[in-house]
Structure 1
Amino acid sequence: MTATPKTSALMARGAAFLGTEHAILCGAMSWVSERNLVAAISNAGGFGVIACGAMTPDLLDAEITGTKALTAKPFGVNLITMHPLLFDLIAVCAKHGVGHVVLAGGIPPKGSVEAIKAFGAKVIVFAPTIALAKKLFRSGADALVIEGSEAGGHIGPVSTSVLAQEFLPALAADHLVFVAGGIGRGEAIASYLEMGAAGVQLGTRFACASESIAHPAFKAAFFRGNARDAIASVQVDPRLPVIPVRALKNKGTEEFTAKQIEVAHKLDAGELDMAAAQLEIEHFWAGALRRAVIDGDVERGSVMAGQSVGMVTKEEPVATIMAQLLEESEAALNRR
């Protein structure tokens, strides 16, 4: 018998799909969602997801191997659709028999979903509109994550609560839909499950877990931060395909504005095409995020955090965080 029967019952579809005890995914956070945190999430009954980000195929190969050494439980791999070596990365996932691949950062390019399904893996996608979600499901996607603007990292313009009200009544009966963005407590999990979500995805809540390799200064910035500190970046030039990024305000956010101006000038001069410009912006974020997470430079680095950052107040083991979320959800459902 589970200690949280009502929550488990509502999560049953999502948990069966993921092959886990709980339908709680950890959002893929570059530099943070590596083997140690991913394995800890999976070992605690959730679903860890490796953030491939800008990794080369060799690096991803090593990360999957390292994760397998730490857990025998299911975990997934998050691939960025604009990665120039996307199909090589998919081949690495195939080599390891990865069970679930998350395609993030844009519409999956032609053939990518088919390439993943060809080796038997499940495909999880993101979609900002119901029409696109339906199209992706028709194209073979197995599950959808709807992520609100409260999330950390790359974000869309619509809040989680509005997305949930739009997507879940339209899709949840026939499809697996996971809700993400700004979720920090179990009461919110309970609400989305009751609305029809198959499960939830959290990133910020797990970023400062004991098992996270993030620098102590990065974690301390989270502990000091509150919802108002987690701001979205501003798009300087409408020509630049810049997806807003939510992070704690610091000098790094100001430097990103300067970076956009620099890239716009390169576009004007014909030194870059649009695809190369977007890639340069992505490389900026990858470098800035590494400085914050790994080096502990929380002034000039990018301290990506969701608006739930104010609910992250101390370093705790993943298992403790997971148990707390489930207990809060169950208590909320029992009060209904």
Structure 2
Amino acid sequence: MNSMLDLLVPAEQRLAALQRRGAAFLGTELAILGGAMSWVSERNLVAAISNAGGFGVIACGAMTPDLLAAEIAGTQALTQKPFGVNLITMHPALDELVQVCLRAKVGHIVFAGGIPPGPAIRAAKDGGAKVVAFAPALVLAKRFMKSGVDALVIEGSEAGGHIGPVSLTVLAQEILPHIRDVPVFVAGGIGRGETILSYLELGASGAQLGTRFAASAESIAHANFKKAFVRASARDAIPSIQLDERFAVIPVRGLVNEGTKRFLAHQAEVVQKFQSGALDKTAAQLEIEHFWAGALRRAVIDGDVENGSVMAGQSVGMVTSVQSVAEILAELKAQAVAALVARAAGP
């Protein structure tokens, strides 16, 4: 009968084989990306993820080109390992931001928040960068491949922050069997190594995690923000609620707090003003959208977790303590290997 030690090496080799394509694409030991989280995915966390064997990704968000250039340089001062930059496709200076990445020799550019423009994809590729895009449906995945995208991320609605309507379980079934020409990374609600293993066996090349890294020791998020993650369960992370179909609310998943409760009351007040004629529809929509202005920074940086926006995925229930990035990655790998060992050992 094989001992557990005899099964360990083959299990580690099997895990390495399953993630070989993703790791080779990223240039890393582990095929695990850090999710790009505004105010959180900055130089310290990005460098920590890359130094620990994963792939850190800077969240450019609304940064100006000069600010992004400084953030890239700051990250490069902390790590010699590969990392990427996440650019929002709607950014008014998108073309310039791409050039900032290329001048700094960033190897991977991740386009998020919409369909990446063809010229931006071509510019990134012509400059020597690999292009990653988010595919919320199979038809878009195929379209992105035709436009030259080098890898895809499929992110389910279990994720934190801005989300789509479809769960990762469904997206994986829809997309993974049909996309084989480029690596596909899964994201949304992932918090354990066994889950990563299961998606690798379904054909994924790796995984992207955000929530667990947001609460890591290296994250610059306020201690209150991390404590909120440790206390929370999966059911505490819910999407923002739209009160009236006439006024769109972009779905954002975060922890329920006083701010989310006040947002509902705020929507009701604005709708009442619209119905009374005090506000026209455009002004009413803007009042609803402006409610959360600066709210993420208030939570992440200032620590106001009652009134700020505490964006978190449903995997927040698996955050039980503040761990270092290296501990998180080692734990994920150990969980995946243990699952393979248990399977080989039999009943």
Which deviations, in whole Å up to 9, do the C-alpha atoms of 1:227-254 show, x marking residues without a partner? Answer: 0100101234546564310000012223
Q: Which has the larger radius of gyration?
A: 2
Shift of residue 5, structure 1, vs aligned partner:
2.0
> What value does the CA root-mean-square deviation take over the aligned residues?
2.4
- 1:209-248 correspondence runs (5 A): 209-238=216-245, 242-248=249-255
Which deviations, in whole Å up to 9, do the C-alpha atoms of 1:265-311 show, x marking residues without a partner? Answer: 69935569x9xx59x94x76561111000000001101101111011
- 2:14 matches 1:6: yes
Shift of residue 315, structure 1, vs aligned partner:
1.0
Corresponding residue for 1:160? Answer: 168
Contact persistence 1:22–1:46 (CA under 8 A) = yes
Which deviations, in whole Å up to 9, do the C-alpha atoms of 1:48-82 show, x marking residues without a partner? Answer: 00011111111111110100000000000011111
1:25 and 1:195 map into 2 onto residues whose CA distance is 18
Corresponding residue for 2:84? Answer: 76
Residue among 142, 148, 162 paired with 1:140: 148
- 1:288-307 correspondence runs (5 A): 288-307=295-314
1:99 and 1:156 map into 2 onto residues whose CA distance is 27
1:6 and 1:185 map into 2 onto residues whose CA distance is 17
1:120 and 1:105 map into 2 onto residues whose CA distance is 23
Corresponding residue for 2:338? Answer: 331
* Stretch of structure 1 that moved more, 82-91 or 130-139: 82-91
- 2:158 matches 1:150: yes
| Gapped regions of structure 1 (runs ≥ 5) | none
Shift of residue 117, structure 1, vs aligned partner:
1.2
Equivalent position amino acid for 2:301 in 1: I
- When the two structures are superposed, what TM-score results if normalisation uses the length of structure 1? 0.91
Contact persistence 2:225–2:300 (CA under 8 A) = yes
Equivalent position amino acid for 2:209 in 1: L
Q: Secondary structure at the match of 2:294?
A: helix
Alpha carbons of 1:241 and 1:18: their partners in 2 closer, same or farther (altered >3 Å)? farther
Corresponding residue for 1:196? Answer: 203
Q: Size of the alignment, in residue pairs?
A: 330
Q: Secondary structure at the match of 2:144?
A: helix
Equivalent position amino acid for 2:239 in 1: A
Q: Percent identity?
A: 67
Q: Secondary structure at the match of 2:312?
A: coil
Residue among 205, 215, 220 paired with 1:208: 215
Residue among 52, 59, 62 paired with 2:67: 59
* Stretch of structure 1 that moved more, 211-220 or 247-256: 247-256
Shift of residue 110, structure 1, vs aligned partner:
4.0
- When the two structures are superposed, what TM-score results if normalisation uses the length of structure 2? 0.89
